[in-house]
């Protein structure tokens, strides 16, 4: 998959997640958060009002620290596709 195709598929996956109205399992949500942040090079600090949520988000980012932007996009796409495989 070329870089442009990867970007298109990533944006489609992001749209799919944003359109989903049911809650995601916490572990899935944290992975999506970390992969999205890595894929978009957004290294800002977590901004939840609850310190425990920030701790979980920081831990998820730490676990994804050694993956590239493109790999994060692929992982995000794969996770979204896997999550929705049996839900539609």
> Tens digit of pLDDT for each residue in 3-40?
899 999 999 999 999 999 999 999 999 999 999 999 99
Residue ranges of domains in the chain: 3-84
* CATH class of residue range 3-84: mainly alpha
Angle between helices 26-39 and 51-63 (to 10 degrees): 60
Asked if residues 35 and 17 have their Cβ atoms less than 8 Å apart, the reply is no
Is pTM, for the whole model, over 0.85? yes
- What pLDDT is recorded for position 1? 72
């Amino acid at each position: 998959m070329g870089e442009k195709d990867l970007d298109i598929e990533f944006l489609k996956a992001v749209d799919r997640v944003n359109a989903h109205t049911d809650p995601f399992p916490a572990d899935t949500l944290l992975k999506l958060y970390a992969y999205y942040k890595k894929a978009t090079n957004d290294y800002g600090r977590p901004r939840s009002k609850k310190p425990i949520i920030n701790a979980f988000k920081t831990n998820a980012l730490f676990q994804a620290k050694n993956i590239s932007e493109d790999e994060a996009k692929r992982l995000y796409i794969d996770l979204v596709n896997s999550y929705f495989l049996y839900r539609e």
